[in-house]
Amino acid sequence: MLRFILRRLGVSALILVLGSVFLFFITVFSGDPLEDLRESRDRNREQLMAARTRNMNLDEPWYVRYWMWVVGVGKCAALRCDLGLDSRGADIGTALMNAAGSTLRLVTLATALAIIIGITMGILAAIRQYSGFDYIVTFAAFLFFSLPVFWVAVLLKEYGAIRFNNWIADPSVSLTAAIIIGVLFGLVLASLLGGDLRRKLITFAVSALVAFGAVTYFDQVDWWRQPALGLGLIILIALGAAVLLTYLTVGRGNMKILYAGLTTIAVGVVGTFIFSGWIEAPTYPLLLLMLAISVASAIIIGWFWGGWDKSIAIWVSIGTAVAFAGATGLDQLLRNWGPFLDRKARPISTIGSGSPNFEGPFWTGVWDWGVQLILPTIVLTVISLASYSRYTRASMLETIRQDYVRTARSKGLSERVVITKHALRNALIPITTIVAFDFAGLIGGAVVTESVFGWKGMGAMFQEGLTRVDPGPVMAFYLVTGTAAVLMNMIADISYAFLDPRIRT
């Protein structure tokens, strides 16, 4: 395995070097970086041309300039990167830090959401092949896959920002809209749960009424501007996580696993009162400390209840603790939605990745940081959902028809064990490769998305470098995005070899 990893590292490094040479070459010879100054009539034109020549080292051959860039990048090993100056004399390293933070937080979040939601949808569609849910997922996948990124971004900008800001100023949901929401929720849930016609009708009726009642209640109490979960809903969310994790791991064969999850919830309730001050006015170190305390408590509880299944009990307890902590954080975030609206009447901006000079408590600051991520993240996630769901569905259908899966069923194993322990791991093998390619594709899509939403990220740096025929910003873009793409491909290869030992040879 070590030889395989070292070989992949060598190949990845070679690809990065060759790609950097090619990109630097075509950027340098794509135009004249002094063209705008040659046509200028400013009195200090000669001084400006001399300054730009000095900043970009235009008096040197292209290969010397490339070598100077390589030497500067090599200093990154000692944490002293020297990426040079751009055409205006600004330090590229400083600009790169700000731009990379904006782009990578956007792409990383979109990738994580696309993987989780897309793979889950693909698995459920495969398990319920040719059901209503399967048809809905298939239709949505082909629809999203065919949509241009810029068009989806413009639509979300109109309806998700401009019109939402108008609506949230005085929010209300009409009776017709509440009925439509209830019907759509009922149809989706009935198709997801499946069953015979009678069961589908009952599921549809109950879920539609619950959704209609919830929307009506929220409208009456002005929940849209003053939302909250409350301790009851937090407990229900954690309880759902405990039951789901117990079912996925041991089913109903060992109730001590469920008791571990329930005990974790009880300890979490006590913890909310003990750490209430930290929860209401936290800092990021305090949040990490509380999460660490939750995980440590869950490990102790899982070890105590686990018996001969200690490892499973510990993981179920940790999952329940994380769900409880996440729901608690979401509750505090929702409670600060109203104060955030008081500070910012139109919450979702159509330009930029944050509000300049915004000041407020911790949770309102999180809102300001997060709402700017919502629309561009949705754009990139929706585009990626199609490939993940379709590939996962196809891989799962191929896997569950294999002989070893039929053998597992013939031995009397439950469908839960067959799907989670025999089919799922093998079905995920081809998905690991798709993740790497999709990450690189998302970076390219982020360039367009950033242009529509006015983000000052890697896309803006890349475009500015091309426009000014300045290889500095272009190579800075390549240094981050190219390295990330190659690194993701290398991780995919290693994960592939881990999942299937035959790949190592």
pLDDT single digits (tens) 431-441? 877 777 777 66
pLDDT at 307: 78
How confident is residue 181, by pLDDT bands cut at 50, 70 and 90? very high
pLDDT-based confidence at residue 467 (cuts at 50, 70, 90): confident
Handedness of CA 228, 231, 235, 238 (dihedral sign): positive
**Other Cβ atoms within 10 Å of 426 Cβ, number:** 18
Query: Which residues make beta-bridge pairs with 85?
Result: 91
Q: What percent of the chain has pLDDT over 90?
A: 28
8 Å CB contact between 383 and 448: no
pLDDT at residue 345 is higher than 70: yes
**CA distance to 13, 73, 77, per residue, from 20 (Å):** 11, 11, 18
CA distance readout (Å), 471 to 79, 83, 192, 360, 455: 22, 11, 51, 40, 21
Nearest to residue 400, comparing CAs of 375, 417, 376?
Answer: 417
**pLDDT, mean of residues 17-38:** 87
Mean pLDDT, to the nearest integer, of 387-412?
87
CA dist 370 and 408 (Å) reads 45
Confidence check: pLDDT of 357 > 90: no
Distances (CA, A) of 116 to 31, 43, 84, 385: 44, 59, 39, 9
The answer for 358, left when phi > 0, alpha when psi is -120 to 50, beta otherwise, is beta
Tell me which DSSP letter residue 79 carries: T
pLDDT of residue 505: 53
Greater confidence, 456 or 292?
A: 292
- Sign for the pseudo-dihedral over CA of 393, 397, 398, 400: positive
Structure token pair of residue 308: 């001969």
Residue 379: how many other CB atoms lie within 10 Å:
29
Whole-number pLDDT of residue 428: 80
- The pair of structure tokens assigned to 450 is 């950033």
Question: Does residue 27 register a pLDDT over 70?
Answer: yes
What is the SS3 assignment for 446? helix
Is pLDDT at 451 greater than 70 in this prediction?
A: yes
**Mean pLDDT, the chain, integer:** 85
The Cα–Cα gap between 91 and 82 comes to 9
**Tens digit of pLDDT for each residue in 98-149?**
888 778 788 888 888 888 888 888 888 888 888 778 888 888 888 888 888 7
Give the closest residue to 328 by CA, choosing from 371, 269, 283: 269
User: Which is nearest to 293 in space by CA: 316, 307, 313, 274?
Assistant: 274
Distance CA 71, CA 94 (A): 18
Question: Average of pLDDT values for 348-365?
Answer: 77
Q: pLDDT-based confidence at 497, cuts 50/70/90?
A: low
Q: How confident is the model at residue 504 (pLDDT cuts 50, 70, 90)?
A: low
Q: Tens of pLDDT along 294-323?
A: 999 999 999 999 878 888 899 999 999 999
At residue 98, the pLDDT reads: 80
Q: Which residues contact 365 (CB under 8 A, 6 or more apart)?
A: 358
Residue ranges of the domains in the chain? 2-97+440-504, 172-221
Do residues 384 and 111 touch, judged by C-beta distance below 8 A? yes
Burial 179-201 (b: 16+ CB within 10 A, else e): eebbeebbbbbbbbbbeeeeebe
- For residue 246, what is the DSSP state? H
Q: Give the closest residue to 423 by CA, choosing from 436, 407, 442, 412.
A: 407
Tell me the pLDDT tens digit for each residue of 216-269: 999 998 899 999 999 999 999 999 999 989 988 887 777 889 999 999 999 999
- Residues 6 or more apart in contact with residue 268 via CB below 8 angstroms: 238, 294, 321, 324, 325, 328
